[in-house]
Amino acid sequence: MKIISYNVNGIRAAMNKGFIDWLTNADPDVVCLQEIKAMKEQVDIEAIEKAGYKYNYWFSAQKKGYSGVAILSKTEPNHVEFGTGITSMDFEGRNLRVDFDDISVMSMYLPSGTNDARLAHKFEYMDLIHNYLNNLRQELPNLVVCGDYNICHEAIDIHNPKMKGVSGFLPEERKWFGNFINSGFIDSFRFLHPEKQEYTWWSYRANARANNKGWRLDYGMVTQPLQENIKRSVILSEAVHSDHCPILLEIKK
């Protein structure tokens, strides 16, 4: 199974920048999108279905033009789970899951901590989602949680590891990520590429992308039972429809 995860920073804007042609060429089985910033009725669903994704599911934020996740699939899942059932997480449209016979795939968009109130919300979400996923994998042991985690785990994941006091690289956030891994999740990219320094997000300011001053915020996390099935995990930095780039994960079935 070939899975792509992509924070598109607005699906309509990405489609105007050639997203559909790119997607057709990339040809994944499942696509996890974050920050779609749209309701389903605002999206050109016909173009997505023509690209081969007849089965597409959208979980938008209540606030229009904000947040939201989606999953596009070539094959019909057995079950689709919209949200988590936890109100403080679901009203911003941050979690969507599809279950197939032998694997479940979640698109997740973890909040950013742009100010004190949002940082408090981010920490609350981090605690809630960790507990939720720990319980979920008892029921669904073969679980892939793709998405924008809005955290750089290690110094190798950020262009300037001396950065202090900035959400995304706070000691508390990095500790949470370490605990998340220790509880039974594998960072597929780092598992296959322990020394590789690549990024998935660049600020629009100061020519950051051209100078490769980036952060690795997007992850294909898999539960430990899938460790031997991780075939490939790469960052597709040539895709430029967003301030993020997509990541690709291949799981042997």
C-alpha 32/C-alpha 107 separation (Å) is: 5
C-alpha 131/C-alpha 129 separation (Å) is: 5
Decide: 49 and 73 in contact? Cβ < 8 Å. no
Residue with tokens 């597929």: 188
C-alpha 195/C-alpha 93 separation (Å) is: 34
Other C-beta atoms closer than 10 Å to the C-beta of 182 total 8
The single residue of 21, 90, 102, 148 carrying the catalytic annotation is 148
- The partner residues of 7 in beta bridges, in order of sequence, read 34
Known catalytic residue at 148: yes
C-alpha 99/C-alpha 28 separation (Å) is: 16
Decide: 153 and 187 in contact? Cβ < 8 Å. yes
Which residues in 35-142 belong to E strands, given as ranges?
55-59, 69-73, 79-82, 95-99, 104-109
Give how far Cα 164 sits from Cα of 132, 161, 171, Å. Answer: 30, 8, 9
Joined together, the tokens standing for residue 170 give 């706070």
Residues recognised as catalytic: 148
